[in-house]
Structure 1
Amino acid sequence: MPVHRSGTARVRRLTVAGALLAAFSFAFTVPSSADTTPARGSAYMGMGVLAHDGRSGTPTTSDATQTEGVDVSGYQGNVAWSTLWSSGVKWAYTKATEGTYYTNPYFTQQYNGSYNVGMIRGAYHFATPDTTSGATQANYFVDHGGGWSRDGKTLPGALDIEWNPYGDACYGKSASAMVSWIADFLNTYKARTGRDAVIYTATSWWTQCTGNYGGFASNNPLWIARYASTVGTLPAGWSYYTMWQYTSSGPTVGDHDKFNGALDRVQALANG
């Protein structure tokens, strides 16, 4: 009997140890896939471009004059605007909102800081079409920094519509449903501000998720994202781009952009 009890105890100890080992292994292996999904609110302009569109070539500019700009989000924290200004950056966009659940805690420093050094500035909204309607998000954006004023130094708000960093690339929407969501946002933004919003996107996402819809091109300026030597093919309807995000690894802050024109054209967009 004592031997039997000893054997039973030994089996019991081995069973418990095995269970603990399995639990330990589970604890450290299961979250790995979840860890690749960023926290809500952490998205920023161009977040999906490298992963989905890649990077190729060294950016070049055409013979036409282009004006350097940057775009920033809470990811950059407090920005050295005087350094950027001295380097030739003349315009900037700051992330104001995402969905209806996030406002950039650094928005004031970034939005006002760029303005105070002399830049022409604007605000952008990171769209999450799977959370609330386009109209709801447009109102949230306008109410939290995305408005517009005719002061000659404020650009119209930009809708950042690109790959979903939190799940399905097209936010679970069909192409027609996505077009309707975007239209809902744009129409509401114009009703609130009197301005047509800028659309920031990448051609590959636009083709996949809107069916390469061309109906917004006549009213909404295009801000194209492509980290390559040229912008490449533009989304349907647009024959030219207004802005081009050409790199995520520029000086001072990573995201640098070209405005397709001289500074007076940036001012013209600000003035409407």
Structure 2
Amino acid sequence: MPVHRPEPLRPRRPRLAGLLLTAVLALTLATQPSPATADDDIPARGSAHMGMGVAAHDGVHGLPVGTLATQTEGVDVSSYQGDVAWSTLWNNGVRWAYVKATEGTYYTNPYFAQQYNGSYNVGMIRGAYHFATPDTTNGATQADYFVDHGGGWSRDGKTLPGALDIEWNPYGDDCYGKTQSAMVTWIRDFLNQYKARTGRDAVIYTTTSWWTQCTGNYSGFASANPLWVARYASTVGDLPAGWSYHTMWQYTSSGPTVGDHNKFNGALDRLQALANG
């Protein structure tokens, strides 16, 4: 009688679905980004510019829908914009500009000459601004650095007083680690030193929300220092304490040619009056 031997076991082939699942998982894991660190979102020192934190803290609600008073269009620029097409802006009705000159006591804008002189050469009234970092050095020291690196003023009818850009800290704590009273002291020291060096009261650029949070809505600078308020909305909204009107309004960071566009609260002859002091 023949003996029936069992057939040898054959290796089992993995199912196709299993292979596909394994491949997909491997691809997914290989392309997953590494966990973010706290430093990933902190920009490099020197890269700050006007309005850097406005959209994040104050929101974006559109462009002005119309005003009763005459407004004069302006722009502000920094190294972020590089070489600016000033003739294009002039042909589109822009009549004034502010150019970032300095930040803290460690940075000067490498495009400052092209931007500051270029705006002047096409006929604009222009000025310089300083991005404040109250956590690095005191106010008077930063005012000196600003004046020594492009932030001065001359009575030529084409130069606006320097502007202090004091706003949300892009590098850390919103209020730069200062109490409200210490922040007021820092700002006062900057403004006093700037006036001592130039004879002009500096413009203050800020947002109402930051000013309220970080200075306690201090009202003591309103009588001397013009207000440049930032709010990306259809209206200026509430102003910081003490100011009954704004001198300038940064209303968008998404304008034509250059992102940051502004309205001077008056006709061109009033802007010339501010330049003349």
Determine if the TM-score, normalized by the shorter chain, exceeds 0.5.
Answer: yes
| Equivalent residue letter for 1:113 | G
Unaligned runs of 5+ in 1: 1-23
Look up the match of 2:108.
Answer: 103
Task: Kindly report which structure 2 residues correspond to 1:137-148, keeping only aligned pairs within 5 A, or say none.
Answer: 137-148=142-153
Look up the match of 2:24.
Answer: none
C-alpha distance in structure 1 between counterparts of 2:79 and 2:144, whole Å: 21
Instruction: Say if 2:241 is the partner of 1:236.
Output: yes
Look up the match of 1:171.
Answer: 176
Look up the match of 2:34.
Answer: 28
C-alpha distance in structure 1 between counterparts of 2:207 and 2:65, whole Å: 18
| Equivalent residue letter for 1:179 | V
The match for 1:246 among 251, 262, 266 is 251
Task: Kindly report which structure 2 residues correspond to 1:64-103, keeping only aligned pairs within 5 A, or say none.
Answer: 64-103=69-108
The match for 1:195 among 195, 200, 211 is 200
Runs of 4+ more than 3 Å apart? none
Look up the match of 1:15.
Answer: none
Unaligned runs of 5+ in 2: 1-29
C-alpha distance in structure 2 between counterparts of 1:225 and 1:269, whole Å: 19
Look up the match of 2:67.
Answer: 62
Structure richer in helix, relative to its length: 1
TM-superposed deviation, 1:56: 1.2
Look up the match of 1:17.
Answer: none
| Equivalent residue letter for 1:133 | N
| Equivalent residue letter for 2:123 | G
Look up the match of 1:207.
Answer: 212
SS at match of 1:83: helix
CA RMSD of aligned residues (A): 1.4
SS at match of 2:97: strand
| Equivalent residue letter for 1:112 | N
C-alpha distance in structure 1 between counterparts of 2:77 and 2:197, whole Å: 24
Say how many residue pairs are matched: 247
C-alpha distance in structure 2 between counterparts of 1:180 and 1:56, whole Å: 33
| Equivalent residue letter for 1:148 | W
Q: Which has the larger radius of gyration?
A: 2
TM-superposed deviation, 1:171: 0.2
SS at match of 2:228: strand
Look up the match of 1:52.
Answer: 57
The alignment's TM-score, normalised by the length of structure 2, stands at 0.87
SS at match of 1:123: strand
| Equivalent residue letter for 1:173 | K
TM-superposed deviation, 1:28: 3.3
Look up the match of 2:265.
Answer: 260
TM-superposed deviation, 1:29: 2.3
Instruction: Say if 2:231 is the partner of 1:220.
Output: no
Q: What's the CA shift string for 1:105-158, capped at 9, x where partnerless?
A: 000000000000000000000000000000000000000000000000000000
8 Å Cα contact 2:130-2:165 kept in structure 1:
yes
| Equivalent residue letter for 1:76 | Q
TM-superposed deviation, 1:33: 2.6
C-alpha distance in structure 1 between counterparts of 2:157 and 2:225, whole Å: 19
TM-superposed deviation, 1:57: 3.7
